[in-house]
Amino acid sequence: MTRSLNAATKTASQQDNVIEVLFANIQLDTPVYVHTYVGDIEYNSNTYSGVGDFGGVSSIPSGSDLKIENITLSLSGVNNSIISQAIGTDYQYKEITLYLTYMDLSTYTINVPTTIFSGYIDNIEIVSGQTSQITLSAVNKLQALTEPNIRRYNLPDQQSRHPFDVALKYVDQLANQDMVWGKGFNDIRV
């Protein structure tokens, strides 16, 4: 999908003494916030940790046609606590968002980031050894359109998600009800 940069990002990209920084917001059971520079950066009330040269992102497809795109993020030199979190979490269909921003190296400030990818985690591969590596695959949100919707418009299905909601209590009765259309209110027999 085509993306447009906000005015602040366009201006910042043309300045001297700036670097491109990618932010990744990965919503696992414990959210992970990382960026491609070094040190910690505060953005949107979250602290993004720098992974520097240890992190990598595949090319992010861009086009005018609507189609399912995927990306790959990798992190090498991973310690055991991150590996155990990756193994012990239910990661599929957790949200991931990538932002692009520019950092001014003279003031270490960033402009408002632009969202360049928003999707869901599809797979996590872990290669452990002397230097461990985690590779995360994600698909954009168009993937959800290929999944069948198996929800039903009835009380049991509604209560499976909202146990105390009884709004659909009479739907089954209404499905089998004979309705007479086009007559006055007093002429209807129930």
Q: Into how many domains does the chain fold?
A: 2
Same domain, 137 and 62: yes
Same domain, 174 and 140: no
pLDDT in tens, the chain (190 residues): 445 666 766 676 677 788 888 888 988 888 888 888 888 888 889 998 888 767 778 777 666 666 667 888 888 877 777 777 777 788 888 999 988 888 888 777 777 888 888 899 888 888 877 778 888 889 888 767 777 778 888 888 989 989 999 988 888 888 778 877 776 666 556 5
| Integer Cα distance of 142 and 145 in angstroms | 5
Note whether residue 120 is domain-resident: yes
| Integer Cα distance of 88 and 98 in angstroms | 23
| pTM of the model as a whole | 0.66
Same domain, 161 and 96: no
Note whether residue 54 is domain-resident: yes
Domain carrying residue 180: 155-187
Which among 14, 18, 15 is positioned nearest to 104, based on CA atoms?
18
Same domain, 39 and 103: yes
Given a contact cutoff of 8 angstroms between Cβ atoms, the answer to whether 72 and 137 are in contact is yes
Note whether residue 2 is domain-resident: no
Burial class (CB in 10 A: 0-12, 13-18, 19+), 60: middle
Given a contact cutoff of 8 angstroms between Cβ atoms, the answer to whether 113 and 9 are in contact is yes
Could you write out the DSSP letters of every residue in 74-101? EEES--HHHHHHHHTS--TT-EEEEEEE
Same domain, 139 and 169: no
